[in-house]
Structures are given as C-alpha cells and as structure tokens.
A = this chain, B = another copy of it.
Amino acid sequence: MSLEEVKEKVVEIRREIHKHPELSYKEFKTSKLIADVLTSLGIEVETGVGLPTAVVGRLKGKKVGKTVALRADMDALPVKEETSLPFKSEVEGVMHACGHDTHVAMLLGAAMILSREDIQGEVRFLFQPAEEDGGMGGAKPMIEAGAIDGVDYVFGIHISGSYPAGVFATRKGPFMALPDSFKIEIHGRGGHGSAPQETVDPIFVAVQIVNQLYGVYRRVDPVQPFVISVTSIHSGTADNVIPDNAVMEGTIRTLDETTRRRALDYLRKVVDHVCEAHGATCEVHMMEDPYPVTINDPGTTEEVMKILSKISTVIETPPIMGAEDFSRFLERSKGTYFFLGTRNEKKGCVYPNHSSKFCVDEDVLMLGVRAHAELAKHFTRT
C-alpha cells in the first residue's frame, strides 16, 4: 500500500465511523471494524480486553526491541450533529464531536504502514472505549486486563480544534489536569417562606458555601494551575416555601498533589463549618479514583518533539485544565500525549471539540498516521 492508498483508506474508515457514532461502553460496530482491519493486516487481535468493546492489536517483530503502545479512543458524544457533511452522523443525538473517529482511523493507518515494516520488539495497538465517561473510563479496565503489560512506551494523539491545522502541541511534565468531581448535599429544615427563623434555610447555607469556596484560590500556590467550579445548584419548589435540602455539584482541577490536597481539605472544612454554624448537616461526596494528572515523561517527550518536528511544526503549550484517562497509561509507562491541530479557517473548521459543528481538516490525518508510525519505529529501537 502506498501512502496515498493509506490516506484514502484512513479517510474512508474515519467517515464510516463518523456516520455510525457509538456512545461510551457501546462501541460495538467500531470495535468490529477495528478488529477486522487489524486482522486483514495480519496483526494479532485480542478483543474484550477489560471491556467488551476494547481491542488490542499486537505486531511483533523478529528482532529484539522495546514494546511501544499506541492508543486511540473510540467513543462518541451525546451531541446532535449540526453539520452538513455527506457522512454526517446517522444516529440521532450522537456525534463524534470530539474526533475519536479520526483517532481510530489514524491508528489503523499507522497499523497499515507498520505491518509492512521490519519491526523490532513489539508495537501494541490499544483501541480504548469510554474515554468520555468522566467516571471510571476505559483505560482502567484495559490496564487491569493486562493491555499494557510489558509496555515500555505509550503514545496517544488527540485531534484538536484549538491549534492550527497540522501543528503538533504537547508539554513536558504535567500536561492535563486531575478532575475531582464533588457533590455537596445540604440538609436543613424547611418551612414557610414568611418564617425563616423557624427553619434551617439550605439555600442560605449553600450560598455561603459557594461564596467561601472561591476563597480557596488564596489557599493554593498562585503559580500552580488550579480551577474550582460549582456547576450546579438545585433547591426549592415554590416561591413561599423554604425547602429542606439543597444539592450542589462541581469540579476541581489540579496538576499537583499539594494543590489538590489543599483544595480538598479547604472544601471539606468550609462545608463542615458553614453547615455547623447554621445548624444544617452536610455530606460531601467525591467521585472515586478520578483520572490522574496526565504527565508526559520529560525525556521521552523531548525526543518525541524532535521526531514530530521532522513531520510538522511542534509547539510546547501551557498546561490544559481538561482531563484525559490516557493519564492512567502514563502512570505505568513512559510516554507522551500530544495534540494534532485541525483548525482551518479556509475550510470552515473553526469549531472547538465537543461543538455540534466540530469539523476536521482531513488533510492533517496523515500527519497523525506518520507520527504514530515514526514514534513506534523510533522507540521500539531504543
């Protein structure tokens, strides 16, 4: 297969997946498509690795070498597509608005190239379900099922509407945030709106909590990236009834454990003390085992940046407060996560990821294919 043929195939696969997007944990068609392509390339395929839709491909060389894992996530988003593409989503209310369709296609493109090469060691292809699921995510069960056992390096690409088409962007060290999700339940005592003195008003308590929570910015190191957002608040049903309860949800984003600890401690202290001061009781629920900080190994990433710079422009970006469960692979292996820009004003590709109008400049796909292939070839030989 010539590079031109690979390109055609990659675009075709991408469009096929785009047309049939599947939500987290339900990537059945996508999974089958992947397995079929890998098999046709003579690559050893394992399905149901930790999750029913997870696929692992193993391409083993004859010579001794390192094991390099390349990862693509597969799931779509519950977004109604608002483009006029010929290969627009045919599933109502589901869309590959985050570009995972391109991830799968680019990694299969790399498999096409690498399967014809004389590989050292092993290239492992990780097709991961459920990255968008803010809870457990797909990386964890795959790891527990042994998907990266023996892996020396792991790499992942994310297509991004935030960078110009064709530009690679990454960062040495902490790159993407750890997302702590919290839920605060406040239990007061309701009553008539005209007699607040006979109640414990959960809305007043909630307001004081939110108000003090944002004081946490003064408790953490100002040079450490940090976000806390209370993103939902719900209480009450009528204009003259003080309700019993209030519920709030939100997210804390950190890149270092000290800041995280300080923020979580502050959250609990503020909630506890505000509630107690006003006679309410409170519960703070934290989502368990959040995605860790995405930390690119500095030495590996230095090398990655050199290799990518032979393919296209590479920039080092500030950290990003978004989160990514590729971080779980990076906890267990050296590696690098990086973005591939796809913003192209001329082609109208100007919408951010997750937008219902998100569109990809397909001309950048081969840059991702080549990046995967070059990194695999380079690092298996180290």
| Chain A interface residues (CB < 8 Å from chain B) | 134, 177, 179, 181-183, 192-197, 201, 203-204, 206-208, 210-212, 214-215, 217-227, 229-243, 246, 249-251, 253, 262, 269-270, 272-274, 276-278, 287, 318-323, 354
One complex includes copies of this chain to the number of 4
In chain B, what residue has the closest Cβ to A262?
B197
The 8 closest A-B pairs by CB, nearest first: A232-B236, A273-B277, A194-B321, A217-B217, A273-B273, A196-B218, A193-B229, A223-B225
Say whether B232 contacts A237, CB under 8 Å: yes
Between A and B, 8 residue pairs with Cβ closer than 8 Å are A215-B278, A218-B229, A222-B253, A229-B240, A232-B237, A238-B249, A269-B277, A270-B277
Interface centre among A196, A318, A319, A323 (most CB of B within 10 A): A196
Report chain B residues within 8 Å CB of A217: 214, 217
In chain B, what residue has the closest Cβ to A194?
B321
In chain B, what residue has the closest Cβ to A279?
B269
Say whether B233 contacts A236, CB under 8 Å: yes
In chain B, what residue has the closest Cβ to A219?
B197
Set B192, B203, B226: member contacting A322, Cβ < 8 A? B192
How long is the Cα–Cα vector from A218 to B204 in the complex, in angstroms? 9
Say whether B276 contacts A240, CB under 8 Å: no
A193 to chain B, nearest CB (A): 4
Question: Which applies to chain A's interface (DSSP): helix, strand, loop or mixed?
Answer: mixed
Additional pairs, 12, CB under 8 Å, beyond known A134-B239, A217-B217: A192-B354, A193-B227, A194-B222, A197-B222, A206-B233, A208-B212, A212-B277, A222-B321, A239-B249, A239-B250, A239-B251, A273-B273
Set B192, B208, B212, B222: member contacting A225, Cβ < 8 A? B222
Say whether B219 contacts A183, CB under 8 Å: no
How long is the Cα–Cα vector from A210 to B206 in the complex, in angstroms? 10
Report chain B residues within 8 Å CB of A181: 239-240
How long is the Cα–Cα vector from A273 to B192 in the complex, in angstroms? 27
How long is the Cα–Cα vector from A276 to B240 in the complex, in angstroms? 28
A1 to chain B, nearest CB (A): 39
Report chain B residues within 8 Å CB of A276: 269, 273
Say whether B206 contacts A179, CB under 8 Å: no
How long is the Cα–Cα vector from A68 to B197 in the complex, in angstroms? 38
Report chain B residues within 8 Å CB of A238: 231-232, 249
In chain B, what residue has the closest Cβ to A230?
B203
Report chain B residues within 8 Å CB of A251: 193-194, 239-240
In chain B, what residue has the closest Cβ to A217?
B217
A68 to chain B, nearest CB (A): 29
